[in-house]
Amino acid sequence: MQETPALHLSGVTKRFGAKVAVAGIDLTVPPRSMFGLVGPNGAGKTTALSMAVGLLRPDAGTASILGVDVWAEPDAAKALIGVLPDGLALPERLTGPELLTFTGLLRGLDPADVAARSAELLDVLDLADAGSTLVIDYSAGMRKKIGLATALLHRPRLLVLDEPFEAVDPVSAAGIRAILRRFVAAGGAVVVSSHVMALVESLCDHLAVMAAGSVVAAGPLDQVRGGGTLEEAFVGLVGGRTAGRDGLSWLVS
Ligand SMILES: Nc1ncnc2c1ncn2[C@@H]1O[C@H](COP(=O)(O)OP(=O)(O)OP(=O)(O)O)[C@@H](O)[C@H]1O
């Protein structure tokens, strides 16, 4: 018998005016997988993930988290998910510890658990020294890290992370990778969108490639990349552009 997927999208569609951002995609994230979502700018990744986690209502199709329908049972589904959205809007006039306390209590966690988990997350993510800094004064990478901490605090079963490594320094990135690996080893599943093929290749065991609102390839990493690198497979799937070579003659004359 097939296990319930960590995330399942069926026929999910979103239009913005005449633009079809996501064109009826199906996507299955297996349980306990580290799943990469890649695609060129504007492919529809953020829109698809926003619909998957209940932040954006699809025009058609369904999304479920561990068998729970995101739009029919939003509270039950959201308890299962930790989300790091793209361009995360955080309450800015709080310090990191205050933000975690606020998030934890809002989610109904025990205050003692919130305190213990917050301290550990801040330590592991190297944010403990910035304990009295307001989030508004955080760097881009620090914002990613505190966003990840808020996503992890309630111990979700599925993490959905839009560009989690963007602007994050290499030491912190290694720390985040270690956290994600432990999370999967403990039975969770992670969906990561990224433009960095080497990162997806080294971190993920499954992936999907999106282009122009559709999923053009999906499956285990080795299957999608064939015999070559993921970068080669990606360029083959989404098509290479050579404008930098052929156009812009004014720039080089
Ligand atoms: N709120 C919106 N209103 C109008 N168009 C939108 C909106 N959000 C996204 N789009 C359009 O939908 C398409 C998909 O955008 P989306 O942000 O999902 O792509 P993406 O794959 O995440 O891109 P990137 O890699 O650049 O972040 C794009 O053409 C974008 O312009």
Structural domains of the chain ordered from first start: 7-252 (3.40.50.300)
Closest residue (by CA) to atom 31 of ligand 1? 42
Reported as a single tens digit per residue, the pLDDT across 23-78 is 999 999 999 999 999 999 999 999 999 999 999 999 999 999 999 999 999 999 99
Q: CA 145, 146, 148: angle at the middle one, nearest 5?
A: 65
Q: Is the ipTM reported for this complex over the cut 0.90? A: yes
- Ligand 1 midpoint to CA 22 (Å): 9
Across-strand partners of 214?
211
Reported as a single tens digit per residue, the pLDDT across 147-178 is 999 999 999 999 999 888 888 888 888 888 98
- Ligand 1 midpoint to CA 172 (Å): 28
Reported as a single tens digit per residue, the pLDDT across 183-203 is 999 999 999 999 889 999 999
The closest-lying atom of ligand 1 relative to the alpha carbon of residue 40 is 25
Per-residue confidence (pLDDT) for residue 112, from 0 to 100: 96
Question: Considering only CA atoms, which of 143, 36, 45 is closest in space to residue 87?
Answer: 143
Q: Which of the four pLDDT bands, split at 50, 70 and 90, describes residue 105?
A: very high
Per-residue confidence (pLDDT) for residue 72, from 0 to 100: 94
Instruction: Name the average pLDDT for the chain.
Output: 92
The first and second tokens of residue 137, run together, are: 């004064």
CA–CA distance, 165 with 178 (Å, rounded to integer): 13
Q: Which of the four pLDDT bands, split at 50, 70 and 90, describes residue 127?
A: very high
Closest residue (by CA) to atom 7 of ligand 1? 16
% pLDDT > 70, the chain: 96
The first and second tokens of residue 70, run together, are: 């995101």
Label each residue of 87-153 as H, E or C: CCCCCCCCEHHHHHHHHHHHCCCCHHHHHHHHHHHHHHCCCHHHCCCEHHHCCHHHHHHHHHHHHHC
